[in-house]
Amino acid sequence: MSRNAIRRARLRAGTVDCPLCGRQIAFPADHLVVYGAEPPTVENADAVECPACEGVTFLVDGDR
């Protein structure tokens, strides 16, 4: 079973596949989720919501 996580570096590059349904998220920056009052950016986002399956995938920094 794979982790429900995406590396932030892939989000910065704009090439994100949903680990839940396998579809590519065309404009991932439009689907960022932030827990707080700040506007979502690639640097402060906590997760990405897949527009196809509506699943939420968390962002991780580094190689883990």
pTM of the full structure: 0.82
pLDDT at 1: 41
Quote the domain boundaries for residue 19: 5-60
Q: Give buried/exposed letters for 9-42 (b at 16+ CB in 10 A, else e).
A: eebeeeebebeeeeeebeebeebbeeeeeeebeb
pLDDT at 2: 58
pLDDT at 3: 82
pLDDT tens-digit map of 24-33: 999 999 999 9
Total domain count, the chain: 1
Q: What is the pLDDT along the chain (64 residues), one digit of tens a residue?
A: 458 899 999 999 998 999 999 999 999 999 999 999 899 999 999 999 999 999 999 999 875 5
**What would the two tokens of residue 59 be?**
């962002």
